[in-house]
């Protein structure tokens, strides 16, 4: 009797339908949206970290490349000074027209060098350049001279020099001049870091705050005037992390907090990329609210739509209890389709009641979700384009080390891609060939310049060192998981079908397809471009020689593809001076050596 008083005789269908709608539509949608937001949030965070990592490493590599170029120029100028002066820089010998002309030519040859000086062992000498040393710079010159007298090169700290119209950030690099094992003078050059501030301004256009610090955490260069050169930047946690890591610092992305002048704490996301050769670090940072703005917007939008769905579901339950079963089934099927990831699914429901409005709102929400997914895919494609640009920049840096092979990686990439398409490879396989060819000589970045830039044939010992560029390249890229499929093309492109190649002497079917394609493209470019040890050969001659080595050195299928492309005229080669054709047998015997030095 008591239970009958508490429980109604009949449960209204309105309540049942309301409960079913909330259970079937709202709850799954909420959990699905929550899961999608969590996944997308993590993906957006990874993308932001990857972007910062790529930008800082790109800047770091640019600085290091310029440093190496300057060291090479200083070394060459030092040798020229010793030869021109006969190793005697005492008194009037340091102020000869020949030495002054050398110094002025050195300054004018590079827009990065703003000042250069040549001092003898008595600290007397000459100078050239558009900058006038101030007291701070003179003290740097004194430190550089002391280091030079001890036989050491010197790299100073960043200084700001005001010329009246412009403000320049410079760094002093110096090297001792030795003759007959004794110190006879010092050569110093002040590098204008204008290129670095320009790059940092470009980074700022993308919403990142970028700057460079030295090993003590002092500012070297920044995109804005908010910080002064030489300022202690260890107030930022990310800078302290770099300084405390010392020589063991590696690329790192981390979250930290900065305190504004008014005491406001701002969470930040930042990345530093160390430059061990100078003891510097390139740093990029951004407030987390800006870095994760897309995440917050996505969460807010999803929450609004979830609330709309709940309200509409309750209204429909109240005003259309008897007609809700059919529309409910449609909405349920659509929800399940979207839960499976089919964002193209739309609710097909014709109704003038609230169910029609609910269906329309549901479709708008689905369109927004579909648009969000498309945006994420587009962001992934942009990251891929940035990744490919970094790869091409790395290959270009390798080519720039050797003036005789400039553009070699791009040409081999073009030839290899055309060959792969001619052989009917899939788009995915063609992409593997393209990236492998672009990086096939990346190992040469570890080869000494005296061997890599030698203007002539290599000695047997030098040739053995040169041959290590295949395994060096593979070892450089092996830690990068995205480039795992490209390692065979980099490591094995100097192998031969007859087992006489290197580094492993693979034979026949042991050799994968990608290095077979790159081997033909590499050899074709080696024979059709000028080298210090040979003039370029005509393309038709190169094709003939490669054809003669089919079955022994090269894959006949790849050679056949090369011949078809050449006969159609699809293999464009820039015309250069050529030499008379020697006998095919003699030239064929040199193919391995030619391609090994490319």
pLDDT one-digit tens code per residue, 249-259: 888 888 888 88
Higher pLDDT, 480 or 500: 500
Look at 124-128, 204-208, 463-467 and tell me which has the smallest mean pLDDT: 204-208
Residues 425 and 472 in one domain: yes
Q: Does a structural domain hold residue 444?
A: yes
Residue 313 within a domain: yes
Tokens of residue 302, six digits: 């999803």
Q: Does 555 score more than 80 pLDDT?
A: yes
Do residue 433 and residue 566 come from a single domain?
Answer: yes
Point out the least confidently predicted range of 154-158, 203-207, 332-336, 399-403. Answer: 399-403
Whichever domain contains 591, its CATH number is 1.10.3210.10
State the pLDDT at residue 531.
73
Q: Which residue is listed with tokens 């970028």?
A: 210
318 and 454 belong to one structural domain: no
Picking from 60-64, 206-210, 459-463, which range would have the lowest pLDDT averaged per residue? 206-210
Asked whether residue 546 is domain-assigned, the answer is yes
The domain boundary, picked from 321, 349, 380, lies at: 380
CA of residue 11 relative to chain centroid, distance: 66
Q: Which range marks the domain in which residue 360 is found?
A: 13-43+293-380
* 415 and 365 in a common domain: no
In a domain, 585, yes or no: yes
- Under a CB-based contact definition with an 8 Å cutoff, are residues 318 and 15 in contact? no
584 & 518 share domain: yes
Of the chain, the end-to-end C-alpha distance in Å amounts to 98
Q: How far apart are CA 404 and CA 408, in angstroms?
A: 9
CB 22 within 8 A of CB 313: yes
Give the Cα separation of 312 and 334 in Å (integer): 16
The count of domains in the chain is 2
The dihedral sign for the CA sequence 326, 327, 330, 336: negative
Same domain? For 366 and 493 the reply is: no
The torsion region of residue 499 among left (phi > 0), alpha (psi -120 to 50) and beta comes to left
Looking at the fold, whether 358 and 411 belong to one and the same domain comes out as no
Residues 374 and 421 in one domain: no
Residue 227 pLDDT grade (very low, low, confident, very high; cuts 50, 70, 90):
confident
- Residue 277 main-chain phi, psi, to 5 deg: -65, -25
51 within domain boundaries: no
In a domain, 96, yes or no: no
pLDDT bucket at 344, cuts 50 / 70 / 90? low
Residues 363 and 412 in one domain: no
Phi first, then psi, for residue 87 (nearest 5°) are: 80, 10
**pTM score, whole prediction:** 0.47
* Same domain (yes/no): 489, 533: yes
Please, what's the b/e burial string for 372-390 (b: 16 or more CB within 10 A of its CB; e: otherwise)? beeebeebeeeeeeebeee
Distance CA 349, CA 201 (A): 54
pLDDT score at 181: 85
Identify whether residues 468 and 538 lie together within a single domain.
yes
Q: Is residue 213 in some structural domain?
A: no
Q: Looking at the structure, tell me whether residues 353 and 484 fall in a common domain.
A: no
């Amino acid at each position: 009797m008591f239970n009958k008083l508490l429980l109604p005789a009949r449960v209204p269908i309105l309540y049942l339908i309301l409960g079913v709608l909330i259970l079937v539509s709202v709850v799954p949608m909420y959990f699905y949206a929550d899961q999608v937001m969590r996944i997308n949030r993590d993906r957006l965070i990874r993308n932001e970290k990857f972007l910062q990592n790529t930008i800082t490493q790109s800047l770091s590599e640019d600085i290091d490349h310029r440093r190496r170029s300057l060291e090479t120029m200083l070394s060459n100028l030092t040798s020229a000074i010793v030869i021109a002066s006969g190793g005697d820089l005492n008194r009037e010998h340091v102020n000869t027209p020949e030495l002054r002309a050398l110094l002025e030519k050195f300054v004018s040859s590079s827009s990065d060098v703003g000042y250069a000086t040549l001092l003898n062992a008595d600290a007397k000498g000459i100078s050239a350049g558009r900058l006038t040393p101030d007291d701070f710079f003179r003290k740097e010159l004194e430190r550089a001279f002391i280091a030079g007298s001890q036989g050491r090169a010197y790299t100073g700290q960043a200084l700001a020099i005001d010329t009246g119209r412009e403000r320049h950030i410079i760094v002093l690099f110096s090297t001792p001049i030795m003759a007959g094992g004794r110190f006879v003078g010092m050569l110093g050059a002040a590098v204008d870091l204008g290129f670095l501030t320009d790059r940092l301004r470009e980074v700022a256009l993308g919403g990142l705050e970028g700057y460079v610090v030295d090993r003590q955490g002092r500012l070297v260069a920044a995109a804005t005037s908010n910080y002064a050169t030489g300022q202690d930047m260890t107030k930022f946690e990310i800078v302290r992390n770099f300084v405390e890591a010392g020589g063991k610092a590696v690329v790192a992305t981390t979250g930290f907090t900065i305190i504004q002048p008014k005491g406001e704490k701002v969470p930040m996301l930042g990345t530093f990329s160390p430059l061990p050769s100078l003891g510097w670090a390139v740093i990029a940072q951004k407030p987390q609210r800006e870095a994760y703005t897309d995440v917050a917007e996505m969460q807010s939008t999803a929450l609004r739509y979830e609330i709309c769905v709940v309200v509409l579901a309750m209204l429909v339950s109240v005003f259309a209890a008897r007609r809700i079963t059919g529309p409910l089934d449609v909405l349920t099927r659509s929800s399940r389709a979207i839960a499976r990831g089919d964002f193209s699914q739309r609710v097909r429901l014709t109704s003038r009641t609230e169910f029609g409005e609910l269906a329309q709102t549901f479709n708008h929400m689905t369109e927004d979700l579909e648009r969000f997914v498309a945006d994420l895919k587009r962001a992934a494609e942009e990251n891929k384009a940035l990744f490919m640009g970094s790869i091409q920049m790395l290959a270009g840096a390798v080519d720039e080390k050797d003036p005789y092979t400039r553009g070699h990686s791009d040409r081999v990439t073009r030839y290899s891609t055309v060959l792969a398409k001619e052989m009917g490879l899939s788009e995915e396989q063609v992409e593997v060939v393209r990236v492998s060819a672009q990086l096939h000589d990346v190992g040469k970045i570890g080869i000494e310049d005296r061997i890599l830039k030698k203007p002539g044939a290599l000695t047997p010992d030098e040739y053995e060192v040169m041959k290590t560029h295949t395994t060096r390249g593979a070892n450089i890229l092996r830690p990068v998981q995205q480039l795992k499929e490209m390692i065979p093309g980099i490591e094995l492109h100097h192998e031969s079908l007859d087992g006489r190649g290197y580094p492993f002497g693979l034979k026949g079917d042991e050799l994968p397809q990608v290095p077979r394609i790159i081997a033909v493209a590499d050899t074709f470019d080696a024979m059709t471009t000028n080298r210090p040890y040979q003039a370029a050969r005509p393309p038709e001659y190169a094709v003939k020689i490669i054809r003669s080595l089919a079955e022994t050195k090269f894959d006949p299928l790849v050679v056949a593809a090369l011949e078809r492309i050449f006969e159609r005229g699809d293999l464009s080669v820039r015309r250069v001076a050529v030499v008379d054709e020697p006998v095919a047998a003699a030239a064929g015997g040199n193919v391995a050596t030619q391609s090994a030095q490319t």
